[in-house]
Chains A and B, each alone.
Chain A
């Protein structure tokens, strides 16, 4: 028996039909490949090609290989340092733009602060390698000032600088967004009740803007730990990061299963960071 025609039912079917193309695309070209990768990570690369071995050997290899573990550790260290540095640099800038600057300059200042954000990350990393090269601009200035030269090319420091540059811009955007939406009257009210500038920041601004800062920090973490280009161009080939290791698998060794396993590990780290943040966001304020 056909149900009677209904307006709500029609609306529901129409909505589903509208969402279907995007959902289908996401399913076929995002969810499915993800599944393929999960499956592949359980296979093995042999001399005859890929074999459906259904084994955790790739993961075991990761855990047993000091080189792989070192790469994961490198990635984690770089990411943590970059996240902390970027928040520390971006927060004051976002504050100045959102609070200290007259409103009519805000948009311009913000737009300026993020212009290089839109350069291709290949180009951006290359540009840093110019600056940090042994005979590059930075050492040119240091030499002019009579200071000792720095050998930053192909080092972890270069990777960190390149990353920090990018994420400072990203975090300026997100922190600005959470600062600017705080009603200015909150600060006035706190001042009216006798709070000094530091107390206002400590007790009013910081806790209210914290969720926005945390979201930005998570974004930084996720993007930073998954990036191949910056460590490859700036860090060089000695002090590998996890994504470089992944690319090595598919490049030189053509070991897709191992690459898949390492990607899954990478995603697990990001998911873990996300869960920590989500948990922290849900937890009641102390």
Chain B
């Protein structure tokens, strides 16, 4: 009993800590007043409506979605192909290649973004949403590669072997056997990738110029200090991520 109380108490405390900022953020996005701080002056949707009517924010939202989906599609494709190569067991230097492909995971986004910024500068390449997407592909490919590589196991290899034995070309092996067999992992990789790209700030900040993504637009909103409108757009961003993650959770669950 004592043990139960301690556990329940600790859980309540930690969950409180974990949800406190998100809860406050969401609550005060409905603030009927000019400041998202106590006292709560009543329930109002005006900040949400203002967000939806803000053309800059809506443009940024569209940019974010574009970058997220495009970069994730490329990252999943690259990661899937590489995972198949490594899983085959006949890739020379597989260990080194695996290490090289996952290396970006251990490097700070700030450093990756800065490196790309410097390189684009030297090349005379202007900054745009495309350069942001390039950066997001760099950070998401290792993730997609790791998820796909974990999903391709002996069962997939055996089925591929059987398909080849029955006369399937490599393209058909990949399209008809491997991809459908690891579909949940591919979906999960894609959705996670979308979430990371959607939430990513520093690379998008460094590598964009006139068209910006949502986190960068929110960043510039922050200059105006605490504002229920920022709360509203923040809750919106959080909702999108939460839905995507829920999607991942569900696809992964179905696999079991």
Using a CB–CB cutoff of 8 Å, the interface residues on chain A facing chain B are 8, 11-12, 14-19, 21-23, 25-26, 29-34, 36-37, 40, 89, 92-93, 96, 100, 107, 109, 111-113, 115-116, 118-124, 126-131, 133, 135-137, 140, 165, 168-169, 222-223, 225-229, 233, 243, 246-247, 250, 256, 259-260, 263, 266-267, 270, 274
Say whether A11 contacts B88, CB under 8 Å.
Answer: yes
Q: Which of chain A's residues have a CB closer than 8 A to the CB of B104?
A: 26, 30
Q: How far is the CB of B213 from chain A (nearest CB, A)?
A: 10
Binding site secondary structure of chain B: helix
Give the contacts of B20-42 with A (CB-CB under 8 A).
20-22, 24-25, 28, 36-39
Residue in contact with A263 in the complex, picked from B38, B110, B237, CB distance below 8 Å: B110
| A19 in contact with B115 given A127-B234, A130-B25 (CB within 8 Å) | no
B168 located at the interface, meaning its Cβ lies under 8 Å from any Cβ of chain A in the complex: no
Instruction: Tell me if A123 and B78 are in contact (CB < 8 A).
Output: no
Q: Do the beta carbons of A113 and B101 come within 8 Å of each other?
A: no
Q: Are B11 and A111 in contact (CB under 8 A)?
A: no
Interface pair A36/B24, CB less than 8 Å apart: no
B7 touches A (CB below 8 Å): yes
Partner of A100, one of B7, B137, B201: B7
Interface residues of B in 187-202 (CB under 8 A from A): 195, 198-202
Q: B106 to A37, Cβ gap below 8 A?
A: no
Does B176 interact with chain A (Cβ within 8 Å)?
no
Q: Does any Cβ of A come within 8 Å of B17's Cβ?
A: yes
Q: Residues of B contacting A223 with CB < 8 Å?
A: 108
Q: A8-B90, A123-B25 are in contact. Are A29 and B116 (CB under 8 A)?
A: yes
User: Is there contact, CB below 8 Å, between B24 and A137?
Assistant: yes
Cβ < 8 Å to A, chain B residues 112-128: 112, 114-119, 121-122
Docked-complex contact B21 and A131, CB < 8 angstroms: yes
A126 to B226, CA, bound (A): 8
Asked whether A22 and B81 contact (CB < 8 A) given A123-B25, A131-B24, A274-B106, the answer is yes
- How many Å from the CB of B250 to the closest CB on chain A? 11
| B197-219 Cβ-contact flags toward A at 8 Å (1 or 0) | 01111100010000000110011
CB of B107 within 8 A of chain A?
yes
Q: Return the 4 tightest CB-CB contacts between A and B, nearest first.
A: A226-B108, A33-B115, A127-B21, A18-B85
CB–CB B11/A270 < 8 A: no
Contacts A8-B90, A129-B226 given: A243-B110 contact, CB under 8 Å? yes
Residue from B15, B101, B200, B244 within 8 A of A23 (CB atoms) = B101
Assuming A100-B7, A123-B234, A222-B106, is B88 touching A15 (CB within 8 A)?
Answer: yes
Question: Nearest Cβ in chain B — how far from A284, in angstroms?
Answer: 23
A260 in contact with B234 given A120-B218, A131-B21, A267-B111 (CB within 8 Å): no
Q: Decide: A21 near B21, CB < 8 A? Known: A36-B119, A259-B114.
A: no
List chain B positions with a Cβ less than 8 A from chain A.
3, 7, 10-11, 14-15, 17-22, 24-25, 28, 36-39, 77-79, 81-82, 84-86, 88, 90-92, 97, 100-101, 103-104, 106-112, 114-119, 121-122, 134-135, 137-138, 141-142, 145, 170, 195, 198-202, 206, 214-215, 218-219, 222, 226, 230-231, 234, 237-238, 241-242, 244-245, 249, 253
Bound complex: CA of A248 vs CA of B10, how far in Å?
Answer: 41
Closest B residue by C-beta to A256 = B118
Give Cα A266–Cα B97 distance, bound, in whole angstroms: 25
Looking at the complex, which one of A12, A29, A115, A119 makes contact with B237 (CB distance below 8 Å)?
Answer: A119
Q: Which residues of B sit under 8 angstroms from A96, Cβ to Cβ?
A: 7, 10-11
Q: Which of A30, A169, A266 interacts with B18 by CB under 8 Å?
A: A169
Contact between B119 and A118 (Cβ–Cβ < 8 Å)?
A: no
A130 touching B231 by the CB < 8 A rule?
yes
**Distance A72 CA – B249 CA, assembled complex (angstroms):** 39
A165 surroundings in chain B (CB, below 8 A): 17-18, 21
Assembly CA distance A36 to B123 (angstroms)? 11
Question: Closest Cβ of chain B: how far from A114's Cβ, in Å?
Answer: 8
Q: Check if B108 sits within 8 Å of A270, measured CB to CB.
A: yes
Contact of B84 among A18, A26, A109, A123 (CB under 8 A): A18
A11 neighbours in B (Cβ, 8 Å): 88, 90
